[in-house]
Amino acid sequence: MEEPVISIGRRGAGRLEMGHPWIYRSDVEKAPAGLEGGEVVAVVDGRRRFLAKAFWSARSQIALRVVTRLEEPVDEAFLGARLASAVALRRRVLGDEPSRRVVHGEADLLPGLVVDAYGEVVVLQTLIPATDRRKELIADLLQGALGARTVVERNDVRVRELEGLAQVKGILRGAEPGPVEHREGAARMRVDVLGGQKTGAFLDQRENRIRAGEYARGRCLDCFSYAGAFALQLAARAEQVTAVEMQSVAARQARENAALSGATKVEVVEANAFDYLRDEADKGPSWDLVVLDPPAFAKNKASVAAARRGYKEVNLRAMHCLVPGGILVTSSCSYHVPEAMLEEILLEAARDAGRPAQVLERRGAARDHPALLGVPETRYLKCFVLRLP
């Protein structure tokens, strides 16, 4: 083995045997001095038996992220093959869909790397030292694999601070793209890949948004609307759609996207969604469908209790707003609130509302955001479609 060798304890080895790709710092028994972070290392157990090759992090509590369980070089050819496999999967499940997640980190066996494509504009996030040190190579490989004219880095995310990495954003390849048009079904939206949230859009909800549009009728309410993507899908069948968004920049984007899509039924209201729902609940049931797509309320384990209260409150108010037979499409992107917990919260809210709730669908992220069996961290988005008789 040419790479530096790191030995791990029995607990860490057992974790690898169960299929999980992370080894925590507390399970590292011996590591060479002088490793800066970002190196490819060979991982062995206490008997020096080879287990995997992994990316090393010097600062994070996740010290090792497995890249391969074979004794093979992790070089340009290796990364190119992994990227090609990820691209092929998206083509298989989405066809020629131009807007898609191309790489979904550990779920694509490329830890610490996220890549979204909007046509010929590609946005990447290198979230750990290993991928950050290789971002120029990754940008070249993406240009070759996707024919991208522009590669943007959106490394202005807090998780990088846990790895000792600075927050940066900018153009890695090509010219500044300006607003990029993104389509979901018949809806048209402009995406700001440099100034918008995440990589410009929340592609993980794409299939859930289209599905929500199929339930739409009458008066529909889209809360935490951001740039109006759910509202645009609802507008195709609803008589009236109100999109509620607190941030003025996002609310302006929602209005522009509605105009671009010719969605004349969409009204965008700048308001706090909690307050708006409280006022609507006080008026009594009047909405045929409500969408709740809030930001993550639980950023860590310490915030779970407060998150539970927040999810219950917003769902309870939404249930009070719905007419008999109304539909609630409700989501959580908090990894620390698993699906079973979210279902408990929804049951508590339904009980307090004094209304039964039928589960029509349990959904997750779109197919270009695969989850890896045995790695629950890759399945963060939960979406329930409920009917309140």
User: Which residues carry out catalysis?
Assistant: 333
DSSP state at residue 367: T
- Terminal C-alpha separation, the chain: 63
Helix (H) or strand (E) holding 112: none
Work out whether the CA dihedral 375, 370, 100, 69 comes out positive or negative. positive
The residue behind tokens 């993980």 is 204
Burial 182-204 (b: 16+ CB within 10 A, else e): bebeebbbbbbbbebeebbbbbb
Report the phi/psi class of residue 38: left, alpha or beta, with left for phi > 0 and alpha for psi in -120 to 50: left
Q: Please choose, from the candidates 256, 266, 262, 251, the residue with its C-alpha nearest in 3D space to the C-alpha of residue 219.
A: 266
DSSP-based three-state secondary structure for 361: strand
Matching residue, tokens 């499409």: 329
Q: How far apart are CA 334 and CA 314, in angstroms?
A: 15
CB 102 within 8 A of CB 117: yes
* Most distant CA atoms of the chain, gap in Å: 69
DSSP sequence for 266-315: EEEEES-HHHHHHHHHHH-S-EEEEEE-PPPS-SSGGGHHHHHHHHHHHH
Alpha carbon distance 78, 65 (integer Å): 16
Cα angle value 128/377/16 (rounded, 5°):
80
Q: Is 235 exposed, middle or buried (0-12, 13-18, 19+ CB in 10 A)?
A: buried
Both tokens of 163, joined, read 């790895």
